[in-house]
Amino acid sequence: MTFATAWDEQLRSFVDDLCRFETTPGDEAPAQKWLREFLEQAGFETYTWEANPERLADHPSFPDDPSAIETANRPSVAGVLEFGDPDAGRTLVLNGHVDVVPADSGWTGEPFEPRWRDGTLTARGATDMKSGLAAAIFAARHLAASDPHFDGRLVVESVVGEEEGGIGAAAAALENPYPFERDAAIVAEPTDCRPVIATEGSLMKRLRIEGRSAHAATRWHGESVLPHFERIRQAFSDLESERGERVEHPLYKAFPIPWPVCFGRLEAGRWASSVPDELTAEVRIGVAPGETVDEVEREFDERLASVVAADPFLGANPPAFERFSIQFEPAEIDPDEPVVKAVQSAMTAAGLSDTAPRGATYGADSRHYVHAGIPTVLFGPGEIQQAHFPDESIEWEAVLAAGELLAAAARTYLED
């Protein structure tokens, strides 16, 4: 029996219910309680863990201050299915995150009231990534229902805090919550069911420039921060272009800007009729697989220093340029890893020809597992362009196809 025939109705109901939980950061607990009860009723052995903020504060991705990392009442949940002699076989993790970003303006309906129309689901989290998480859970159920004859374990995880650097996944990578080891993982992020084996890192920094205020009618007596910021922005844009040519990676040749630099937030001035004397800008800087966040930070610090050295005012009033928020290290695995081959085998068996591994210009929880020595591939339904987008939507046929492919990939991996 095909995955769609066996599970379509139940999976649709499950995703609809899950998308009704407003699992924005810090509010995941009710959904996780519901999910754990569902897994237990479906025959999974369940595990729950919460991250230790002291431990995360020692991790390079997170702030140094434990009080800045919100972990209380934010449980991650997993369900385990065992086959044959589980200790004699492999253990595969199917991972997804339950948290979603807040819904801002631009929605044509309530974000947490799922809408179904013409085979498309619209809801916050529909693509990123409650449908992928659900597909992983039901893929495990599909495999278990097929009367498998092999040894091994299949773990499905619903983790919290991915949008804040991977709180649940980092905790699971740092301190194994299970009484067994994990051999590989598939994170069901929206990759349009293409295998992604490399994820980009990111450096988050905050720039502060101070000028000198003056009345707008005599602005020549002041020192506006805006021209100074523009010189810095242009210098960083130039460095972005230089790095795009100099830092090469075979999986990123198709991207027009492989290592993007984006000033995503800017605030300047105090009053419309005053020369702006202060500016704060926040920038996200891409880090290529094979680089480190520290190495790239040094490059941009040096470029900023060159701008400051060429500007007498900035030389006398140097801007501050400091890290903030979450830092993402890049991650990459070998394309010949068995878990990658298992995904490709499932795709080929389903008649899909575009099985070549890819790179992504975003970060994901996979990096935590890769850095812990657990080969991890991203593979799930939906397109990343829908993530964080108003009227976030996913084609339901893609979710059903992903469930079939994940089940087949898990079988191949565990049978080998």
pLDDT tens, position by position, 167-226? 999 999 999 999 999 999 999 999 999 999 999 999 999 999 999 999 999 999 999 999
**Position 377, amino acid:** V
Average pLDDT over residues 317-334: 96
> What pLDDT score was predicted for residue 416?
85
Residues with Cβ < 8 Å from 24, sequence gap 6 or more? Answer: 99, 100, 101, 102
> What pLDDT score was predicted for residue 352?
96
> What pLDDT score was predicted for residue 139?
98
> What pLDDT score was predicted for residue 104?
86
> What is the average pLDDT score of the chain?
97
d(CA 65, CA 67): 5
pLDDT tens, position by position, 112-152? 999 999 999 999 999 999 999 999 999 999 999 998 999 99
Average pLDDT over residues 370-386: 97
Burial of 343 (0-12, 13-18, 19+ CB in 10 A): buried
Domains and CATH numbers, the chain: 3-199+330-415 (3.40.630.10), 201-323 (3.30.70.360)
Residue 243 has pLDDT above 90, yes or no: yes
> What pLDDT score was predicted for residue 308?
98
> What pLDDT score was predicted for residue 148?
92
> What pLDDT score was predicted for residue 279?
98
pLDDT tier at 254, thresholds 50, 70, 90: very high
pLDDT tier at 15, thresholds 50, 70, 90: very high
pLDDT tens, position by position, 388-412? 999 999 999 999 999 999 999 999 9
Long-range contacts (CB closer than 8 Å, 24 or more residues apart) made by 308-311: 311/228, 311/231
Full DSSP string of 242-253 = HHHHHS--GGGT
What percent of the chain lies above the pLDDT cut of 70? Answer: 100
In this structure, the number of other CB atoms found within 10 A of the CB of residue 307 comes to 18
Q: What values do phi and psi take at 111, rounded to 5?
A: -60, -30
